[in-house]
């Protein structure tokens, strides 16, 4: 693996960037209140976030495609864990609905077990996101397995875009354009 401090990474490929601590919003339906998943240690307890400097590696399309060898299996696990997470949330919410109704005869241990399952899968999701980002990729969508690799194009940071199911990285877009602004490689 190439890290920002490895000898294989040219100094010109690393730029410090101020990044706020990220929160990942997870929800089963758009009408439901999103649940926060903290992508660090424990659950987020404050809305005040101090920016921190983190080096950003810029990839060439060949380097990003090579990184897919390590990242693809992690993204496959991520999408699978997300499906498990949605199912666990739905089980937990069904128990909560029954309890709100009239108690539903649900033993407290059953709800505690359902809550523990949601938390365990959320921690697994966070670990997978952390591992994917340690390879230099940015996770954009858990459900579809969409990730981006930062790249430089005419002095501007752009994103090399890949989604689970695609054979290789064949798309890029400007940061502000997002997935809808994908353009085929090569960078023009």
CB neighbours (10 Å) of residue 162? 26
Residue 5 forms part of a structural domain: no
Q: Which residues of 94-131 are buried (b: 16+ CB within 10 A; e: fewer)?
A: ebeeeeeeeeeeeeeeebeebeebbeebbebbbebbee
* Any domain includes 3: no
> Do 118 and 85 touch, CB atoms closer than 8 A?
yes
Beta bridge partners of 172: 160, 183
In a domain, 110, yes or no: yes
Q: What is the mean pLDDT of the chain?
A: 79
Whole-angstrom CA distances from 97 to 5, 28, 103 are 50, 15, 9
Strand partners, 56: 15
Model pTM score: 0.70
Q: pLDDT tens across 116-172, in order?
A: 999 999 999 999 999 999 999 999 999 999 999 999 999 999 999 999 999 999 999
Instruction: Identify the band that residue 16 occupies on the pLDDT scale cut at 50, 70 and 90.
Output: very low
Whether the CB-CB separation of 132 and 78 falls below 8 Å is answered with: yes
Q: Please tell me which residue, 19 or 132, carries the higher pLDDT value.
A: 132
* DSSP per-residue letters across 62-74: HHHHHHHHHHHHH
Alpha helices by DSSP H, the chain: 61-102, 108-134
- Phi/psi at 103 (nearest 5 deg)? 100, -30
Give a yes or no: residue 9 inside a domain: no
How far, in Å, CA of 6 to CA of 170, rounded? 26
In a domain, residue 84? The reply is yes
Residues in Cβ contact with 22 at an 8 Å cutoff, skipping those fewer than 6 apart: 39
Q: Does residue 158 lie in a domain region?
A: yes
- Structural domain including 27 reads 15-184
Say whether 147 sits in a helix, a strand or coil. strand
Residue 160 lies in a domain: yes
Place of tokens 């897919």: 68
Instruction: Give the range among 43-57, 94-108, 133-147 with minimum mean pLDDT.
Output: 43-57
pLDDT tens-digit readout, 171-182: 999 999 999 999
Q: How many domains does the chain have?
A: 1
4 domain-assigned: no
- DSSP-assigned letter for residue 32: S
Q: Please give the pLDDT value at position 20.
A: 31
């Amino acid at each position: 693996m190439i890290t920002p401090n490895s000898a294989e990474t040219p100094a010109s490929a690393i730029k410090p960037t101020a990044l706020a601590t990220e929160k990942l919003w997870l929800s089963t339906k758009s009408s439901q209140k999103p649940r926060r998943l903290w992508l660090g240690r424990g659950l987020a307890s404050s809305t005040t976030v101090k920016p921190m400097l983190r080096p950003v590696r810029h990839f060439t399309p060949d380097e990003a495609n090579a990184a897919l060898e390590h990242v693809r299996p992690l993204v496959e696990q991520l999408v699978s864990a997300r499906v498990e997470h949605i199912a666990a949330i739905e089980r937990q919410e069904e128990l909560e609905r029954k309890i709100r109704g009239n108690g539903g005869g649900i033993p407290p241990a059953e709800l505690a077990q359902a809550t523990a399952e949601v938390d365990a899968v959320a921690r697994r999701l966070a670990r997978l996101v952390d591992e994917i980002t340690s390879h230099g990729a940015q996770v954009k969508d858990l459900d579809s397995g969409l990730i981006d690799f930062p790249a430089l194009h005419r002095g501007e940071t752009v994103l090399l875009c890949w989604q689970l199911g695609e054979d290789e990285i064949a798309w890029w877009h400007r940061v502000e354009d997002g997935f809808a602004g994908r353009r085929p490689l090569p960078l023009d």
